[in-house]
């Protein structure tokens, strides 16, 4: 549960907190208060999913030739690879979720998968993604659709 401190006494021992949802606390309940963790941004998350879309597309990273036909399936494979090979780089309890990563952790996660996994381990040349992404950003201002639609327009036939 999250909330925001809106008032504090001079000694910073008594606070008034507005919670983001109703709570069942009662007078005398003990609570633990920690600063909120800044989770990955929606922009980071959107960028990551565009990257996955580019990776599986035959006119992008062509991960289809390695058996990846969906972004969700590729995402699950990546998470498993991270757990198997980079568990020491991230803190997670039972299930690894990118939703709980901080912005810095998400950047590290993206850097690991784009370089260590895609380039070094799988031999996927991701340099084209950066060029395609810039053109895709421009294309998207006047066209609906995602990376797949953009890449389909580039087909040579």
What is the tens place of the pLDDT at every residue in 65-98?
Answer: 989 899 999 999 999 999 999 988 887 767 788 8
Please give the sequence-ordered ranges of beta strands (E in DSSP) within 1-157, or none if there are none: 3-8, 15-19
Token pair 């008032």 is at which residue? 7
Look at residue 112 and tell me whether its pLDDT is greater than 50. yes
Could you tell me the residue ranges of all domains in the chain? Answer: 42-153
Mean pLDDT of all residues belonging to the chain:
86
Give the whole-angstrom CA distance, residue 157 versus residue 151.
12
Q: Once rounded to an integer, what is the mean pLDDT over residues 14-36?
A: 84
Angstrom distance (rounded) from CA 13 to CA 130 = 50
- What local confidence, expressed as pLDDT, does residue 157 receive? 46
Q: Is the model more confident about 71 or about 34?
A: 71
SS3 78: helix
């Amino acid at each position: 549960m999250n909330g925001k401190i809106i008032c504090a006494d001079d000694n910073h021992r008594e606070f008034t907190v507005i919670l983001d949802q109703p709570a069942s606390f009662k007078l005398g309940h003990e609570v633990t208060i920690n600063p909120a963790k800044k989770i990955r941004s929606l922009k980071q998350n959107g960028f990551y999913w565009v990257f996955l879309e580019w990776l599986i597309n035959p006119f992008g990273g062509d991960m289809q030739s390695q058996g990846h036909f969906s972004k969700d399936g590729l995402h699950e494979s990546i998470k498993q690879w991270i757990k198997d090979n980079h568990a020491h780089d991230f803190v997670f309890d039972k299930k690894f979720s990118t939703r709980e990563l901080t912005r810095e952790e998400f950047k590290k996660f993206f850097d690991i998968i784009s370089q260590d996994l895609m380039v070094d381990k799988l031999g996927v040349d991701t340099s084209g993604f950066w060029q395609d992404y810039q053109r895709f950003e421009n294309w998207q201002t006047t066209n609906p659709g995602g990376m797949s639609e953009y890449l389909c327009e580039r087909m040579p036939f």
